Amino acid sequence: MAAGAGDAEFGSDAGFCRFRDWFGRAAPALVVVLGSGLGEVALRAGARRLPYGDVLPWVTEHGDAVAGHDRCYVALDSPRGAVLYLQGRLHTYEGLDCRAAVQPLAYALQLRPECVLITNAAGCLREDWHPGELMLIRDHINLLGDSPLRGGGDPLGARGSRFVDMTMAYDSALRGLAMEWGGSHPEVAGVLREGVYAAVQGPQYETPSEIRMLRMFGADAVGMSTVPEVILCRAFSRRVMGLSVLTNWAAGVGRAETLDHAAVLGMTHAASTAVADLIEWLLPRLRSEKG
Ligand code: HPA
């Protein structure tokens, strides 16, 4: 059993009430989970911050954050709609089960956002794509051996069936919007891909043989996150978009050299401007899509 995972009354507990008072009663137009090194996307004038540990104390007790993950909610009010960022995530490779790792997101989903954008850093499995490019996630392969919906009761407050349909987990209309955004930006147009994301446990990077296996499975990118969050969003019936920053060639692919986290962070840092621009572009369109 992982830290914090046993709350019987999730969504009415003191931590959640504090979180909701901090954010305000209105639902966010968009919740954004910022992956490794993308934290600066939320650095905006007027942003309000709340460390996860202030409302989920076990998060602080669990140990230091992974580099590139601040473990902080950031709220940004704008006339285009409020955005709630999760600046940094918890990972299963930190010794948490999926259910605990998604608790900060479960609080955010209780606010019933219109849509959720989940971002990550990922290794590129295709020789015809390149590090530095972006991939909209069309589908995923869960190799974590775990799910946030595993276990008894409804500890994350989704109030839905545990047998969640994942056939169209990644919203095709949202992907269409993102493609439109790509098309209107010459510098992005040729490097915005669509593909399948495989989630592995890590934290070690893969061997070339493992990467060949993932390629045979149909994966285009590999990472250590995102899938538990997408499953949870679907349990809450939220619309989801997934975006990978392809930070490196996966082991044995292309001109793969040795892999390291600092280089991964450098690449996501470079992609931050594009991700921030996509969010700005999406906001008014989410609203008009809602009609
Ligand atoms: N493998 C797994 N996770 C990753 C990678 C990778 O190559 N790059 C960034 N996250």
CATH number of the domain bearing residue 174:
3.40.50.1580
Q: Give the residue, out of 69, 119, 204, 206, with the most ligand 1 atoms within 8 A of its beta carbon, to mutate for a pocket test.
A: 206
Residue 65 lies in a domain: yes
**Dist. CA 180–CA 8, nearest whole Å:** 43
**Dist. CA 73–CA 147, nearest whole Å:** 23
Beta bridge partners of 50: 73
Q: How many domains does the chain have?
A: 1
CA angle 188, 191, 90 (to 5 degrees): 90
CA of 269 to the centre of ligand 1 (A): 15
Residue 52 lies in a domain: yes
CA of 259 to the centre of ligand 1 (A): 8
Residue 2 lies in a domain: no
Tens digit of pLDDT for each residue in 84-131?
A: 999 989 999 988 999 999 999 999 999 999 899 999 999 999 999 999
Residue 6 lies in a domain: no
Q: Is 247 in the pocket of ligand 1 (CB under 6 A)?
A: yes
Q: Could you list the residue range(s) of the whole structural domain that residue 129 is in?
A: 14-290
Residue 7 lies in a domain: no
Residue 110 lies in a domain: yes
Tens digit of pLDDT for each residue in 41-54?
A: 888 878 999 999 99
Tens digit of pLDDT for each residue in 50-68?
A: 999 999 988 887 777 766 6
Residue 3 lies in a domain: no
Residue 9 lies in a domain: no
Tens digit of pLDDT for each residue in 179-214?
A: 999 988 888 878 899 999 999 999 999 999 999 999
Q: Is 121 in the pocket of ligand 1 (CB under 6 A)?
A: yes
Whole-model pTM: value is: 0.92
CA of 65 to the centre of ligand 1 (A): 18
Which pairs count as long-range contacts for 262-269, CB under 8 Å and 24+ apart, including other chains? 262/67, 264/36, 264/37, 264/68, 264/121, 265/36, 265/37, 265/67, 265/68, 265/121, 266/37, 267/37, 267/121, 267/131, 267/132, 268/35, 268/36, 268/37, 268/38, 268/68, 268/121, 269/37, 269/38, 269/40
5: helix, strand or coil: coil
3 band by pLDDT with thresholds 50, 70 and 90: very low
Q: Is 222 in the pocket of ligand 1 (CB under 6 A)?
A: yes
